[in-house]
Structure 1
Amino acid sequence: MAFSFNFDIKVKTDECCQGHAKAEKYQEPCLKTYDIILTSETIYNTAYYEALHEVFRWLLVDDGQVLLATKAHYFGVGGGLLLFERFVEQKGVFEMRPLLDVDEGLQRHVVSLRFRRKNTHVSHSTATDGAARKMT
């Protein structure tokens, strides 16, 4: 069974964000009003990791969650889950937890990012089989 979702999200902007598409143009504090950020196929290029990370950091409320769906690896542009996980670890802002692994065809994953709390971290690459629900 396949699902496809197409919808428009209207984003409320304020003067710190209005008219700027690139994360480096945002000025802290910006909105901090999203409980959940859903994103898919956004880590295909390592050059975008910094901007994407900053968007998450500035727009997500303190107890919010990013749900990120991705392929294990993107051929041709070099991004993927392992590289993004390493980037997130180096930044030290978020903890990343595996939610779903799909092994059928190209490997796909859904992970959760939440603001890091002291002494918590589960690496997707080192998680036990029980940490992520598998689908084949």
Structure 2
Amino acid sequence: MLGDLNKRELLDLIENQVIGRLGCHANGETYIVPVNYVYRDNMIYLHSGMGKKIEMMRANPRVCFQIDEIKDTFRWKSAILHGNFIELSGEERQQAMQGIIHRIMPLTDRPSEEPSHGIKPELHEGIVVCKIELTEISGRCETHEEYD
């Protein structure tokens, strides 16, 4: 059965996942890419090296973010979030980066080989840390009792 996720189901989905898909649009081009993220206080926090998505978000800060949990073809949850890209600096940047590292690193099977979330220390200064200030959230799901 298809349905809408209620607010608690949406928050559970967003808080429990660590990979989402970021959608950017600038200069007539749309770009979607998977990213690691942390959700806190109605914000999605992420980091990236310089490249296409950062250039596009700087040109057009309005973004879309998609998160899902798929058990199989007939049992899934999906959230669509809209918001605005904000590049971070100073203490807020440092806190966001630490939050990302602490959330993602326990999920790797080789944490000692991947310091600071797989980013070589000499490259940390070139990393862009940002947040997406959420303006709209919605979610859908499909469930079937016969498959549970």
Q: Tell me the TM-score normalized by structure 1.
A: 0.34
Taking structure 2 as the reference length, the TM-score comes to: 0.32
